[in-house]
Amino acid sequence: MYRTNTCGELTLVNAGQTVTLAGWLQKSRDLGGLTFIDLRDRYGITQLTFNMDVNAALCEQARKLGREFVLQITGTVCERSSKNLKMPTGEIEIDVTDLKVLNAANTPPFTIEDETDGGDELRMKYRYLDIRRNPVKEKLMLRHEMMKYTRSFMDAENFVEVETPVLIKSTPEGARDFIVPSRLNPGQFYALPQSPQTFKQLLMVAGMDRYFQMVKCFRDEDLRADRQPEFTQIDCEMSFVEREDILNLFENLVRHLFKKVKGVDIPTMMRMQYADAIRYYGCDKPDLRFDMKFVELKSATNDIVSGAGFGVFDNAELVLAINAKNAALYTRKQLDELTEWVKDPRRGMSGLIYARVEADGTVKSSVDKFYDQEKLQAWAKACDASAGDLILILCGGTDKTRKAMGDLRLEMGNRFELRDPNTYICLWVLDFPLLEWNEDDKRWYAMHHPFTSPVPEHLDMLNTNPGAVNANAYDMVINGVEVGGGSIRIHDRTLQSKLFEVLGFTADEAKEQFGFLLNAFEFGAPPHGGIAFGFDRLCSLFGGSESIRDYIAFPKNNSGRDVMIDAPGPVASKELDIVGIKLNNI
Amino acid sequence: MYRTNTCGELTLVNAGQTVTLAGWLQKSRDLGGLTFIDLRDRYGITQLTFNMDVNAALCEQARKLGREFVLQITGTVCERSSKNLKMPTGEIEIDVTDLKVLNAANTPPFTIEDETDGGDELRMKYRYLDIRRNPVKEKLMLRHEMMKYTRSFMDAENFVEVETPVLIKSTPEGARDFIVPSRLNPGQFYALPQSPQTFKQLLMVAGMDRYFQMVKCFRDEDLRADRQPEFTQIDCEMSFVEREDILNLFENLVRHLFKKVKGVDIPTMMRMQYADAIRYYGCDKPDLRFDMKFVELKSATNDIVSGAGFGVFDNAELVLAINAKNAALYTRKQLDELTEWVKDPRRGMSGLIYARVEADGTVKSSVDKFYDQEKLQAWAKACDASAGDLILILCGGTDKTRKAMGDLRLEMGNRFELRDPNTYICLWVLDFPLLEWNEDDKRWYAMHHPFTSPVPEHLDMLNTNPGAVNANAYDMVINGVEVGGGSIRIHDRTLQSKLFEVLGFTADEAKEQFGFLLNAFEFGAPPHGGIAFGFDRLCSLFGGSESIRDYIAFPKNNSGRDVMIDAPGPVASKELDIVGIKLNNI
């Protein structure tokens, strides 16, 4: 028995007890006659005292110990003279009578403190030391809690967790697969799954009724800051359900997680049409923690800006405004800076027009010479702007202006601290388009995958106006982050055939690409639908961090490398030979 | 809403209610005026009735439906006239008023019944139909239960589930890795993990204290009947523990599982030295559901058979007997057959000698001409044999005889039905040898891995008699099946250096092979140890099946193929080019 207690649990209740603790030396203070050591384990920190007058030899030994040494001590729990009420063990200390060094330690390359002096690279290389730090450890423990409460909810809802295979078959569509040469089947390859999509649909055909899995998925993409080649999904599928059943159930899952993990009550989630999200927020994942909805000063159906001689507006397809409440005091310099910001190639706007509502109610704008006060008042009214507000206006082509205004809206949200990290606004975005037209191929493509069902009320339009057909699909968006998405699948063979026809597939082509799933669908597929949540992303949202990497124990960098273990690495050519491959450059 | 209830829950309590159900047509019986349909979903079967007199059109429609059609019906819950008390819904039936075919189905290639007419190959190809059958579905649900209760136990014991990476680094030792070419790092490869061994030790260095994970592992081995290229482990590691802490905790995990999943109380587990397991049962995973312990009639320390002129015994290194209680009535034919069985090349014995104790207490043996009654009585006494018992004797070299006798013991256990599938005898096998001598290389090899700690009391022998040093390792054996194993690891740098020295590694060689783990150990590694359970095997043991394949939703065959999705498969050469490899034969 290495310890009687952990370093996080002793309090005044234990005063007088003889205890044995084990852990790491967090820091030590040598005050001459007294030496204090903070002993740390996963559970907390306990202060140890060594007294020269009581046991000089032991105290001398304690003085020599370095940071991160692994110690085992025995001693008596005593009340501290100078208490630290910020920590659970802050009222006691241990008068040490026995000390054993379980392991020495080299000086760590960065400090093991909440605020460390180590840079990203160094901390990734020594990830096993970084995890000793509270902020990192706590993120991994949050992840564990999230897994636990997800599973308990799903189990209570009669979902069965089924492990689907990792070594599967490569498919030509979608993102790039990681491939694995098969030694037993020379010249052939497994692929790692991008998602268990086909398997979960097969489990519905198999009558499993309610399936879920917390599962690793893999995508060989060019990595961006917040992408990982391997990531974890909460993957779910249900039979005999309509969209409403799925929305209600998974809304409850997320509310359950907020309640259990963060103690936060989330009200019934809002719902928004995809078209409205694009029109009013410029993206399919609006952050609704703040308002600042787009106002169309000029659009296909409305125009209060043209004909005043201002060519920029006259020629624009769309003129959008947002009302930054109480921002009228924004200086010229700040506005110039914002103008540069929207002109940045990432936004690509030709300029920014503003109008501020003065204290007396008059509106002053950067285009005063074209618009009289009456017209400007009409803008203010359209934007519901009053004294002290700042109206920001962008214009140009529809898609580009919406996107740029969406970015500007978020930027203003950031600048005015309207995106409170402790507020959570959850939203379902519904009714995505089913198809998108590809001008190069002159054909329709499925926006998700060809098994996504149209909404029932649009079935008739599949022949007449396929571009207007909505998918029975849904995304869950929290604070502007897409955390999950899914759809009702097609289970009806006639509808499936019609959709393949619209997509320009022959029956043979459909068979070749989706053979075994279509085959399975011949044997009695139930109506079904599902959803998948990006678990790493969900954890980072709950943890209040921007990066998913923080929530992965051993993440990879932007080149797909694990710098700690130095993977990937070379493989001996005889090993390649055994699996029937060789390198291209040999 | 597709249904108000499932097919497994309606009883007389619901009589008179109007309900809507959905499911598959299990079978239908057309009795002329009446048609009965059994409707099946994951939860059970409910009988539907259609009456010609009441609604001829509906009844006609019902008559035409084929097996496995997907139906949605509405009707009234009624008391059955002829009840089936074997099923929960057997007292009611539904008088159907509305019927909708949700999907048609081709006739399945085998019957969807508990006892099916489909062969293995066919059922694997149509695994999604096989899972509709109760025995298969129930195995997957048992697996879910096992996962659930494992996790709840581990969580309650303060273990944190941490996901370790799947794309890691290939290592030369151990079984063969599956490798994954890295597109972003041309010429380099990831490997899929054979186990998270290094990562879990790093998590201990990281101060995670108690880690577990239910994790997919991968081994590119030549597949035997009961091996899968991907398999699942319950992987665990703890800090600041001694062997006793680990044995107690994981013994409790398994007892918890037996109690929760099977309602079986398992007493405190037995413990056995590895040396005794080999000596008395001929293997390191004895099935203790029955006794039949080996008796050494002749060994290095004991001999009651030599010197009687029977050269076979005189020349044998070891003569072993087992007592098959109450088997004296075994016929000559049966004994001849058993003799052939031990002479089979898999056992490789030159023959079988037997001695039976007659009703009057005299012993009659196949070597009577060498041994008088007094000597034979001594055998019987040594074997604790009495009237009606049959003593079976094998002899030869020590290792081979023990192994053959171990097989014979299990065979007799099978023949006399002593291996009751509903009895569970759990056992810890302890104190495996740390090292094994390789005569070719003239060097010691670690029996597990070079981080396995010796037992503390053998530390001194590392220099003087390394072959006699026991590892601080343990296996859990249930009913003759090794379900898990692990060890206390070395955390002390001096001991680790000494072990590498014994294994003939230079410091540089050790660094090259185990670099980042050794590096991590320089920064304060705590004493730690762990265990891993083969989860597929554990499930099959709980489910009472010999094959782990039954407990895997989508298993692979002996060639590593998934015959349902037809994986692995070819990959276009341009795809190979992108990841920097080509096939050998091109």
Answer whether B42 sits within 8 Å of A207, measured CB to CB. Answer: yes
Measured CA to CA, the distance from residue B168 to residue B216 in angstroms comes to 13
To the nearest whole number, what is the mean pLDDT of chain A?
A: 94
- In Å, how far are A566, B150, B316, B503, B578 from B170, measured between CA atoms? 10, 30, 46, 22, 21
Nearest to B327 by CA among B413, B251, B394: B413
The three-point CA angle A388-A390-A394 to 5° equals 170
CATH 3.30.1360.30 fits domain B290-415:
yes
In chain A, whose CA is at the least distance from the CA of B564? A516
Residue A326, token pair as written in the block: 């109480």
DSSP structure class, residue B514: H
Question: What does the H/E/C string look like for A475-498?
Answer: EEEECCEEEEEEEEECCCHHHHHH
Pairing of β A318-324 and β A230-239: unpaired
Q: Which of A381-385, A509-513, B141-145 has the lowest mean pLDDT?
A: A509-513
Q: What contacts 24+ positions apart, CB below 8 Å, involve B139-143? A: B139/B539, B139/B543, B139/B545, B139/B550, B139/B551, B140/A160, B140/A162, B140/A208, B140/B551, B140/B553, B141/A160, B142/B261, B142/B539, B142/B542, B142/B543, B142/B551, B143/A162, B143/A163, B143/B539, B143/B551
Measured CA to CA, the distance from residue A152 to residue B195 in angstroms comes to 26
Q: Does A42 have pLDDT greater than 70?
A: yes
Longest dimension (CA), chain A: 94
Q: Which of B2, B129, B568 sits opposite A189 (nearest CB)?
A: B568
Pairing of β A318-324 and β A390-396: antiparallel
Measured CA to CA, the distance from residue B170 to residue A142 in angstroms comes to 31
Task: Identify the band that residue A171 occupies on the pLDDT scale cut at 50, 70 and 90.
Answer: confident
Per-residue model confidence (pLDDT) at position A94: 98
User: What percentage of residues in chain B have a pLDDT greater than 70?
Assistant: 99
Residue B470, token pair as written in the block: 């026991």
- CB count within 10 Å of CB A414 equals 10
Per-residue model confidence (pLDDT) at position B546: 79
Pairing of β B70-79 and β B92-103: antiparallel
Q: Residues B166-210: pLDDT tens digits?
A: 999 987 667 899 999 999 999 999 999 999 999 999 999 999 999
Q: B322, B405 in Cβ contact below 8 A?
A: yes
In degrees and rounded to multiples of 5, residue B165 shows phi and psi of -70, 150
- One-character DSSP codes across A525-577: PPPEEEEEEEHHHHHHHHHT-S-SGGGSSS---TTS-BTTTTBSB---HHHHH
Q: Residues A320-366: pLDDT tens digits?
A: 999 999 998 899 999 999 999 999 999 999 999 999 999 999 999 99
Measured CA to CA, the distance from residue B464 to residue B441 in angstroms comes to 20
With an 8 Å Cβ cutoff, is B189 touching chain A?
A: yes
Q: Residues B467-478: pLDDT tens digits?
A: 999 999 999 999
With an 8 Å Cβ cutoff, is A583 touching chain B?
A: yes
To the nearest whole number, what is the mean pLDDT of chain B?
A: 94
Measured CA to CA, the distance from residue B288 to residue B269 in angstroms comes to 11
- CB count within 10 Å of CB A98 equals 12
Per-residue model confidence (pLDDT) at position A586: 58
Give A 561-580 residues with CB within 8 A of chain B. 561-562, 564-572, 575-580
- Asked whether the bond before A568 is cis by omega within 30 degrees of 0, the reply is yes
What is the residue type of B577?
D
Can you say whether residue B392 is alpha, beta or left, with left for phi > 0 and alpha for psi between -120 and 50 degrees?
A: beta
- Sign of the dihedral defined by the CA atoms of residues B576, B581, B583, B585, in that order: positive
Measured CA to CA, the distance from residue A93 to residue B555 in angstroms comes to 56
List, in order, residues 6 or more apart from A533 with CB less than 8 Å away: A233, A234, A250, A476, A483, A484
In chain B, whose CA is at the least distance from the CA of A573? B187
Residue A140, token pair as written in the block: 């991994």
What is the residue type of B14?
N
Extended beta strands in B42-145, E state: 44-51, 70-79, 92-103
The three-point CA angle B182-B183-B186 to 5° equals 80
Q: Does B543 have pLDDT greater than 70?
A: yes
Measured CA to CA, the distance from residue B235 to residue B195 in angstroms comes to 8
Give domain limits for chain B: 12-103, 137-272+425-574, 290-415
Give B 300-359 residues with CB within 8 A of chain A. none
Place of tokens 């109506």: A527
- Give domain B137-272+425-574's CATH architecture: 2-Layer Sandwich (3.30)
H or E element in which residue B435 lies:
strand B435-438
Task: Identify the band that residue A505 occupies on the pLDDT scale cut at 50, 70 and 90.
Answer: confident
Measured CA to CA, the distance from residue A430 to residue A472 in angstroms comes to 8
Answer whether B523 sits within 8 Å of A209, measured CB to CB. Answer: no
Give B 474-503 residues with CB within 8 A of chain A. 491-493
Q: Does A45 have pLDDT greater than 90?
A: yes
Tell me the β-bridge partners of A79: A92
Q: What contacts 24+ positions apart, CB below 8 Å, involve A23-26? A: A23/A70, A23/A71, A24/A68, A24/A69, A24/A70, A24/A71, A24/A105, A24/A112, A24/A132, A24/B207, A24/B524, A24/B526, A25/A65, A25/A66, A25/A67, A25/A68, A25/A69, A25/A70, A25/A71, A26/A67, A26/A112
Per-residue model confidence (pLDDT) at position B108: 96
Q: Which of A163, A176, A180 sits opposite B553 (nearest CB)?
A: A163
Per-residue model confidence (pLDDT) at position A515: 77
Answer whether A176 sits within 8 Å of B183, measured CB to CB. Answer: yes
Tell me the β-bridge partners of B76: B18, B95
Answer whether A208 sits within 8 Å of B68, measured CB to CB. Answer: no
Answer whether B581 sits within 8 Å of A582, measured CB to CB. Answer: yes
With an 8 Å Cβ cutoff, is B101 touching chain A?
A: no
Q: Which of A24, A45, A70, A157 to mutate to test the interface with B (most CBs of B within 10 A)?
A: A70
Per-residue model confidence (pLDDT) at position B172: 66
List, in order, residues 6 or more apart from A423 with CB less than 8 Å away: A289, A479
Give B 504-523 residues with CB within 8 A of chain A. 516, 520, 522-523
Q: Which of B137, B164, B579 sits opposite A179 (nearest CB)?
A: B579
Q: Which of A141, A183, A210 sits opposite B220 (nearest CB)?
A: A183
Closest-CA distance of chain B to residue A320, Å? 41
Give A 13-42 residues with CB within 8 A of chain B. 22, 24, 40-42
In chain A, whose CA is at the least distance from the CA of B565? A516
Answer whether B240 sits within 8 Å of A185, measured CB to CB. Answer: no
With an 8 Å Cβ cutoff, is B248 touching chain A?
A: no
Closest-CA distance of chain A to residue B169, Å? 5
Q: Does B410 have pLDDT greater than 80?
A: yes
Q: Residues A223-267: pLDDT tens digits?
A: 776 789 999 999 999 999 999 999 999 999 999 999 999 999 999
Answer whether A169 sits within 8 Å of B144, measured CB to CB. Answer: no
**Which chain A residues are Cβ-neighbours of B148 within 8 angstroms?**
151, 155, 161
**Which chain B residues are Cβ-neighbours of A581 within 8 angstroms?**
181, 576, 581-584
CATH 2.30.42.10 fits domain A12-103:
no
Distance from the Cα of residue A457 to its chain's centroid: 33
**Which chain A residues are Cβ-neighbours of B132 within 8 angstroms?**
206-207
Closest-CA distance of chain A to residue B23, Å? 8
Answer whether B569 sits within 8 Å of A167, measured CB to CB. Answer: no
Task: Identify the band that residue B99 occupies on the pLDDT scale cut at 50, 70 and 90.
Answer: very high
- CB count within 10 Å of CB A334 equals 13
**Which chain A residues are Cβ-neighbours of B141 within 8 angstroms?**
160
Q: A167, B230 in Cβ contact below 8 A?
A: yes
Answer whether A148 sits within 8 Å of B170, measured CB to CB. Answer: no
With an 8 Å Cβ cutoff, is B261 touching chain A?
A: no
**Which chain B residues are Cβ-neighbours of A495 within 8 angstroms?**
none
H or E element in which residue A406 lies:
helix A398-415
Per-residue model confidence (pLDDT) at position B586: 58
Per-residue model confidence (pLDDT) at position B492: 84
Answer whether A526 sits within 8 Å of B22, measured CB to CB. Answer: yes
With an 8 Å Cβ cutoff, is B198 touching chain A?
A: yes
User: In what order do the strands lie in the sheet containing A318-324?
Assistant: A295-298, A318-324, A390-396, A353-357, A363-365
Q: Does A2 have pLDDT greater than 70?
A: yes
Can you say whether residue B238 is alpha, beta or left, with left for phi > 0 and alpha for psi between -120 and 50 degrees?
A: beta
Answer whether B188 sits within 8 Å of A568, measured CB to CB. Answer: yes
Q: Which of B71, B152, B176, B180 to mutate to test the interface with A (most CBs of A within 10 A)?
A: B180
Answer whether B491 sits within 8 Å of A524, measured CB to CB. Answer: no
Measured CA to CA, the distance from residue B209 to residue A92 in angstroms comes to 23
Residue A106, token pair as written in the block: 């080299």
With an 8 Å Cβ cutoff, is A553 touching chain B?
A: yes
Highest mean pLDDT among A581-585, B34-38, B490-494: B34-38
Per-residue model confidence (pLDDT) at position A512: 75
With an 8 Å Cβ cutoff, is B70 touching chain A?
A: yes
Per-residue model confidence (pLDDT) at position B175: 82
User: What stretches of A422-506 show up as alpha helix (H) in DSSP?
Assistant: 461-464, 493-502
Q: Residues A382-421: pLDDT tens digits?
A: 999 999 999 999 999 999 999 999 999 999 999 999 999 8
Answer whether B564 sits within 8 Å of A516, measured CB to CB. Answer: yes
Q: Is the pTM of this model over 0.90?
A: yes
Q: Residues B304-361: pLDDT tens digits?
A: 999 999 999 999 999 999 999 999 889 999 999 999 999 999 999 999 999 999 999 9
Residue B46, token pair as written in the block: 């409910």
Measured CA to CA, the distance from residue A27 to residue A34 in angstroms comes to 14
Measured CA to CA, the distance from residue B78 to residue B19 in angstroms comes to 11
Q: B390, B327 in Cβ contact below 8 A?
A: yes
Give B 222-241 residues with CB within 8 A of chain A. 222-223, 229-230, 232, 240-241
Q: A355, A319 in Cβ contact below 8 A?
A: no
